[in-house]
Structure 1
Amino acid sequence: MATLNIENVRTALAEAEKRAAAAWANADGIRAGMIKEGVDLQEEENFNKISEAFKVYDQAKEEAAQLGSKLGELAAIEQMYRAPGAGGGLPQGATPGGDRARQRLGHRFTSSEQYQRLHRDGVFSGGEAMGVQIIGRGFDRPIEVMSRDEIGALLEAGRFGATTITGGGATSAGPFIQNDLMPGFIAYLRETPRVAQVVGQGTTDSDVVEYVTQSAVTNAAAETAEDTQASEATYAYATNTTNVKEITHFVPITLRAMANAGQLRGVIENELVIDVLDRLDSEVAAGNGSGQNFTGITATSGIGTFALGAYTRLDAIHRAITTVRTAAGVRLESDYIGMHPNDWQKVRLEKDSNGNYLMGPAGMAGDKQVWGVPVIASSVFTEGTIVAGNFNRGATLWLREGLSVNAGLDGNDFTKRRISLLAAMRAAFVAHRPTAFCTVTSF
């Protein structure tokens, strides 16, 4: 049995990549030949021929991805032994870019001029009634805890904040009063947002985003004899718009908790901020387009779709990938497959007739992927419906404003001596290339 080391894995990776490149050239050549002949790529016989050719490529690509993951693990282990105890870098939760970038989000709120002014003016030491009355007027402006550019960088890099903390009640400071034994809280864990990270990103300074799509193409390119009129091609374009939507929510907090900067930072970082990003993620994936909701990817008109039917789950996923590859006006490679965790479990636990797992043994290391395409297993996707597609080029999230936090009174806050903290961000989203996605239903 060969020794598992970096050189062996690197050699195997190079060979797998070579096989993948050859398989891609063959499959893409078949597809290009059909396009040149003008045949319908979605016709069953042509579709299956392309699909089978790309399966060879996908298998080689998946093998290369697993070897690449193994190579990274071995390199990390080697580095650890080369530099034991090496430290340095930024504090936990910090990002490059100066003092503000090093601050936690809650600290940005508690270190803001508006919050510090409350302490200087003795609001928290002058009695709850006075504090509620003064803070209830609201700040002169919302406190921006994440700028638009920072949210964009955060989504692009996939660095989301910590999971949330909760207490026993929404309106009481009781959860923040700890006994000696155990400081902190038992966390109610939320999912890490994923889908908003992988779609295309942009910014806008308007409340309406206008974009132009190419709606139809007539390719008239053909060999032409000398002194003969060329064929005329036609390209149709359409102007589309999508509106900026606002994602908001608030939490009531007692003045006593408001005065405790440490606990206030926890509420802002781990509840207000994360919950807004959670909602953004679910809307990008599956917003129903009703009222102020985004029209998410799976609810977009014109995406490819078919039912599982008699296909195996693995074959159905590959068929969805091929549908995107052969869709007119797109012909893109899927960069992600999105599915509910329960659906991923169905895929991962499938066995052959001998009881062996089709996706490899349970102890096999590596990221979630099928046919070499990474899988996003998240509850933002509807159970029973999976989606494959090119998320980066098929959809775009435009950020209008960063994430800000404001304070004020709501309802009977005054009589209960509490303040409401409101978090808000504004953005627009659209899956502007619907055929860059394909869903499989009844999964």
Structure 2
Amino acid sequence: MNWKGHTLMNKYIFTLLISALGLRVFAQANISPAGPQDKKTVIMGAKLHIGNGQVIENGYLIFDKGKITGVGDATTVRFDFSGSTVINANGKQVYPGFIAPVTNLGLAEYESVKATLDFAEIGTFNPHIRSLVAYNTDSKVPATLRSNGVLMAQITPQGGTISGSSSVVQLDAWNWEDAALRKDDAQHLNWPVTPKPRPGFGSRAAVSEELLKERTQKILFELDQLFAEAKAYAETEKPAVINTRLAAMKHLFDGQQKLFISADAQKDITAAINFAKKYGITPVLVGGEEAYLMIPFLKENNISVVVKQPHALPNSVDDDVNLPYKNAGILANAGINVVVSIDGYWQQRNLPFMAGTVAAWGLDKEKALQTITLNTAKVLGIDKSTGSLENGKDATFFISAGDALDMKGNRVEQAFIQGRSINLDNLHKQLDKKFSAKYASEKK
């Protein structure tokens, strides 16, 4: 199915549904994407969190034409401010834009309205599905994320064994073409796991453990066969027959595209990594709940780990109840490149606080910041252009009145994407103003 056509159809269906039911939906003010930067800008006096572990207590940041052109200690240099816009940020803090990995942001709008959910396709093996062309830049959700400093995201399909390819976008754009920072950065594989057998009821017979294992082995066999065919297809200079599924996997084998594998149990992680190695691929592990049990194996194979849901309970009754809080710190302190993520789309606004939790449970504060900035940029292959405040990189960052990894301190006052000063209004702020005014007037 064509994702772009599917998305347009979903929009029409949703509009008709709302009209037919006569539902009242709060309308968000039309927020247009910001225009290009037209003047060199200097930020003075802020505490700069570079994103690579370095902190400058009283710094300056200069950016022009969307790129950072200067960064350093403001007490050691003198400036000629003529022709520049100067932002006094004394007492404030500057951070690189946060990056949300492995999210269906922009592919879903209302969880209770099926027509607005466009993140999964029918079928088991869908490497040819591209999430980017279904990304909805008119969604109300990204504006809420921007208000907490999340300025980029990896838009990721879900479902099946191979879900399809993700792409990295910036969150202030007219359409998906404008939004794209890196197209088709990774394929996403959900490692097949044998489910636990369940008793049958009524006419539905119980499925035995042996049959469940047989089904899993069949999927693994088909997966291996698909990769073998895709590798052979990639090595064929001019295939006689075009196969869109195999063609979509071509760049897994030359390193231009990454393979993200979701697996949690120790045996599944081992099997998944060994499977990828068989085809010359160094995968990125997503989830990895038991990754802390196999740190030497992960380091030996140069595996990065996308830790999911630090705010969670452990799966095993034998685990430390605080293990989900500690997991990222355990891995990062052992020398593994760790990225922090959170499930869902509107939930991404809480991503900074996931990193804050990681910092509170064993990881240095600046290293915790890296788990949602530079570490993520490296895993997504965009670290040459973003992820830290360094010369030559995109001017994608924000100014906060306080600590952006803390719920009380995260007060984003200004944000820039590629040098463009973006609008920080959102639906939540509008509703807050609306009802605050209502109840304030009733008190008089």
What TM-score, normalized by structure 2, do the two folds share? Answer: 0.25
Q: Give the structure with higher Rg (CA).
A: 1
TM-score normalised by L of structure 1: 0.25
